[in-house]
Amino acid sequence: MDPLILSRMQFGANISFHILFPTITIALGWVLLFFKLRYNATNDSAWMRAYFTWVKVFALSFAMGVVSGVTMSFQFGTNWPHYMEKVGNIAGPLLAYEILTAFFLEAAFLGIMLFGFRRVSNRIHTLATVLVAGGTTLSAFWIIALNSWMQTPAGFEIRDGVAHAVDWWAIVFNPSMPYRLVHMLLASGLTVSFLIAGLSALRYLTGDRSESMWKALRTGVFTAAILIPIQIFAGDQHGLNTLEHQPQKIAAMEANWNTGPNVPLVLFALPDEAAKENRFEIAIPDGASVVLRHSTSGIVPGLNDYPGNHPPVFPIFWSFRIMVGTGVLMLLVSWSAAFFLKRRHSLPKPLAMLMVPMALSGWLATLAGWYTTEIGRQPWLVTGVLKTADAVGPVAGSHVALTLTIYLILYVLLLIAYLGVLVHLALKAAKDGDNSPLPGVLNAPMSQPAAGE
């Protein structure tokens, strides 16, 4: 078996599994801070109940993110040794700064945030929450800087076949970095708001009308309703940035074969790379030109300009459509839920039932988006600098096949366990309602077992 394909599948599987959890923790840290600050300001214990319910989700997601992240840091060496040989001078410092400034900050204060409510003053506990949330966001900053540099490298020169840094500012803030960072942070915010809204809707469906449920539900729905239009705008800007720096990726996303004006927006098609055409195409005339160039005569790049040097069309075309489609669905659901919560102070049952599976819509859109941009970088690992095929290590295909199989089994089982616990926690919170004791808030002695454990 081909170690290249297998190593790519393994890295893809690992990073897909990994990204699910940071996507939750980045924004959930800030949501927890919001719950905490509302409690500090209002003294309403429902905010603290919401905090305690969701801090458990945070702890679990964080642990899943840590263990799958450790795996990533080893895989650079086990499967892609030539990556660091070629661009280690750039990637190294960025990763080192992520570990030094973000990982330790999160890990050290996570303990205080999770278990320290009665061991430190309320102010220190709030500060710990701020530092953990800040740490997760800082971590995103560094890793997005590195990923974006691989997409649109800048600020370096090649000496003796190895990349050397010339301008660190240009490396960190490379052309696609600000767009990708904003797009990803918003994606995290949407993932968390739909997760909170969805699990709260599940509580709502089981008859839970407690204050903490309402508070979480409203927070989720209104945050989603505010973020989604911003995300659509940010995504559009990110697309225009990609058009400028990676036109072949845009050509694949739009499944456009020939460069020219009046390019239609393809809604459905089965792109056929061998024949260089789309089958069963349904398209809006001039659509792509209007979206990308804001004019019907706008020139849109075509795949035929990049023979042998463009990414595979089919997966990108479709993952992009899944992302956009999910985004549109998110807009519809969050706005209608916001309308009902604002005007009617209730949620129609069908809408609540739709919101439960939508709890995972953020995951779907995030994964689809990352597949678009990462597969869209192929055949390059670092655009114009290092091809993916040249980075793979000497490990035998059979070894990679074995490890890949076990990883996949492990990840599926863990995912099932994780989702099971989320539902279990939501149902338990629904059962407890507003009646669960809050020993931390009520200044109970240290030895009293808490509600959640």
Binding residues among 168-227 for another protein as defined by CB under 8 A: 168
Q: Check the CA dihedral 271-274-276-279 and report its sign.
A: negative
Q: Calculate Rg over the CA atoms of the chain.
A: 23
> CA dist 107 to 23, 55, 62, 111, Å?
17, 15, 9, 7
CB of 188 to another protein, least distance (A): 20
Contact 292, 239 (CB under 8 A): yes
**Rounded to the nearest 5°, which phi and psi values hold at 158?**
-95, 120
- From candidates 19, 66, 269, 359, binder to another protein by CB under 8 A: 66
Q: Check the CA dihedral 103-404-81-389 and report its sign.
A: negative
271 beta partners: 278
- From candidates 155, 178, 298, 439, binder to another protein by CB under 8 A: 439
Coil, strand, or helix at residue 182? helix
Residue 70 touching another protein (CB under 8 A): yes
Q: Which is nearer to another protein, 104 or 339 (CB)?
A: 104
Residue 245 touching another protein (CB under 8 A): no
Contact map string, positions 95 to 124, toward another protein, x by CB under 8 A? xxx-xxx-xxxxxxxxxx-xxxxxxx----
- From candidates 173, 399, 433, 434, binder to another protein by CB under 8 A: 399
Q: Which of 190, 123, 166, 156 is nearest to 368 (CA)?
A: 190
CB of 98 to another protein, least distance (A): 8
Q: Which range, of 33-41, 59-67, 295-303, 369-377, touches another protein by CB under 8 A?
A: 59-67
Residue 365 touching another protein (CB under 8 A): no
CB of 373 to another protein, least distance (A): 23
Q: Pull the structure tokens for residue 339.
A: 């309308």
- From candidates 13, 37, 44, 71, binder to another protein by CB under 8 A: 71
How many chain residues bind another protein (CB under 8 A)?
Answer: 79
Residue 60 touching another protein (CB under 8 A): yes
Q: Angle 67-180-134 (CA atoms, 0-180°, nearest 5)?
A: 55
CA distance 8 to 18: 15
Q: Which range, of 22-30, 39-47, 73-81, 327-335, touches another protein by CB under 8 A?
A: 73-81
Residue 84 touching another protein (CB under 8 A): yes
CA distance 103 to 96: 10
Q: Pull the structure tokens for residue 60.
A: 């679990």
- From candidates 85, 277, 286, 390, binder to another protein by CB under 8 A: 85
Q: Which is nearer to another protein, 226 or 441 (CB)?
A: 441
Residue 165 touching another protein (CB under 8 A): yes
